[in-house]
Amino acid sequence: MTLRYDAGEIITAMVTPFNEKREIDFKALENLVRHLLNTSSDAILVTGTTGESPTLTHEEEYEILYAVKGQVSGARKVIMGAGSNSTKTAIESSKKAQELGADAILSVVPYYNKPNQQGMIEHFGAIARAVDIPIIMYNIPGRTGVNMAPQTAAYLAKEYSNIVAIKQSFPDMDAITELRSLCPEDFAIYSGDDSLTLPMLSLGAHGVVSVASHVVGDELKSIIHNFKSGQIKAARNMHQKLYPLFRKLFMAPNPVPVKTVLSRMKIIENYVRRPLVELNESEKAELYNVFDEVTENIGKKLS
Residue type, 168: Q
Tens digit of each residue's pLDDT (9 = 90 or more) over 61-99: 999 999 999 999 999 999 999 999 999 999 999 999 999
Task: State yes or no: is 243 an active-site residue.
Answer: no
Res. 301 pLDDT band, cuts 50 70 90: low
Residue type, 294: V
pLDDT of residue 300: 73
Tens digit of each residue's pLDDT (9 = 90 or more) over 157-193: 999 999 999 999 999 999 999 999 999 999 999 999 9
Res. 256 pLDDT band, cuts 50 70 90: very high
Is position 15 within any domain? yes
Overall domain count for the chain: 1
Say if strands 207-210 and 104-108 run parallel, antiparallel, or are unpaired: unpaired
Q: Which of 113, 91, 94, 112 has the alpha carbon at shortest distance from 103?
A: 94
**CATH number reported for the structural domain that contains residue 121 in this entry:** 3.20.20.70
Is position 249 within any domain? no
Q: Which of 115, 96, 116 has the alpha carbon at shortest distance from 105?
A: 96
Percent of the chain with pLDDT over 90: 97
d(CA 300, CA 269): 22
Say which of 96, 167, 221, 248 is annotated catalytic. Answer: 167
Is position 129 within any domain? yes
- Kindly report the pTM of this predicted structure: 0.97
- Direct distance between the N- and C-terminal alpha carbons of the chain, in angstroms, rounded to an integer: 40
- Mean pLDDT across the stretch 4-29? 98
Query: Cα dihedral angle (235, 293, 213, 120), rounded to 10 degrees?
Result: 80
Reduced to 3 states, what is the DSSP secondary structure of residue 158?
helix
- Mean pLDDT across the stretch 214-239? 98
Paired with 189 in beta bridges are 166
d(CA 70, CA 10): 20
d(CA 203, CA 209): 16
Tell me: pLDDT of 303 over 50: no
Tens digit of each residue's pLDDT (9 = 90 or more) over 147-158: 999 999 999 999
> Which range has the worst mean pLDDT, 1-5, 12-16, 228-232, 294-298?
1-5
Task: State yes or no: is 167 an active-site residue.
Answer: yes
Is position 133 within any domain? yes
Is position 235 within any domain? no
Q: Is the peptide bond preceding residue 110 cis, with omega within 30 degrees of 0?
A: no
Q: Any residues with CB less than 8 A from the CB of 254 and at least 6 apart, and which?
A: 49, 50, 211
pLDDT of residue 302: 52
Is position 41 within any domain? yes
Paired with 210 in beta bridges are 12
Is position 128 within any domain? yes
Give the mean pLDDT of the chain: 97
Residue 193 belongs to what domain range? 10-229
Is position 185 within any domain? yes
Tell me how far CA of residue 161 lies from CA of 121, 132, 134, 189, in angstroms: 14, 9, 8, 15
Contact 34, 12 (CB under 8 A): no
Say which of 62, 138, 155, 271 is annotated catalytic. Answer: 138
Radius of gyration of the chain (CA): 18
